[in-house]
Amino acid sequence: MWFFKKMCTSKARLDGKTVVITGANSGIGKETARDFYGRGARVILLCRNMEKMNEAVEDIKNNPPSRIKKDEYQSNAGELAIYSLDLSSLKSVRDCAKNLLVKEAAIHILVNNAGVAFHPYQKTEDGNEMTLQTNHLGHFLLTLLLLPKMQSSSPGCRIVNVSSIFHIVGNINFDDINLEKSYTPTKGYTQSKLANILFTKELARRLKKADIHGVNVYSLHPGLMPTEISRHSNNTLFPGVAFLYNCLTWLLFKNVEEGAQTTIYCSVDEKAANETGLYYSDCSVATRLRRTGDDQYAKNLWDVSCKLLHLEPEEDFTTFLQTVSSQIL
């Protein structure tokens, strides 16, 4: 359906810019990396499976996006680098952030793309529900750890959080955040996607209050498309549902390159550079769940997230970031 397939039309180059993307070995993460590489960026791919990551690097190097010819793509391309990251381990998040801070001179764009959906109930080594930690808490911590580097790399820095339209049926269970009493795969996923949007809103508010400029924050729905994110649904929903979902999305909605367009838009578009804290779909600002406009609701999630990460949610944001950074010193 053509009206679900708007493409990012910005021709902005990213020469001299460093971009970090989680979950970049497949799906829209890999397509986003491909686009940024073609724009001349130093693209850092974060993933837990190094074999798949190396395969992704070769694919990105040799196959341009549909908008560009291969010879033009390769002659104007940037660099690719890989780092190990497992969002289900907070130690891995801290180790990855430390490596990035030590080895990279700057970070201009952070794309929090990695995610799981319809996962069977499981606790991480840190004691958090798997979907909540992978989709929200791991990215929450990674972002806070990388923020000082992004501040020093500003202006023009952006943090992009990949959410989902399914946030509209989500609810944050503050009294049972790990859903120990009421877990369903759908509830776990929609809660985490709502958390992505609330995190975006609250982070933008805190940056503004702390008078920190040059770092903008975005959340988005990429669209419905066939990717590996639905791989657990055969076991948690019913056998064959992943195949049916992928067939339906392939026929009626977006392919993976089209699904990456709103992420790319939020990362490079010139108009979006003047916006922060908003939610996007199909390369434009979109309507989100009314509850996401509740400042207290977003603040409550921030406080609960800090508690799960054993952080004290100080109101002075600069002091708070210093406290977070001390975890990896």
Catalytic residues: 189
Do the Cβ atoms of 92 and 85 come closer than 8 Å? yes
Do the Cβ atoms of 60 and 97 come closer than 8 Å? no
Question: Which residues have C-beta within 8 Å of that of residue 189, sequence separation ≥ 6?
Answer: 116, 117, 118, 119, 131, 135, 164, 166
Where would I find the beta strands (DSSP E) of the chain?
18-22, 42-47, 79-84, 109-112, 157-162, 215-221, 278-281, 284-285
DSSP state of 260: T
Do the Cβ atoms of 123 and 142 come closer than 8 Å? no
Distance CA(68)–CA(59), nearest Å, equals 15
∠ CA 27-291-284, rounded to 5°:
45
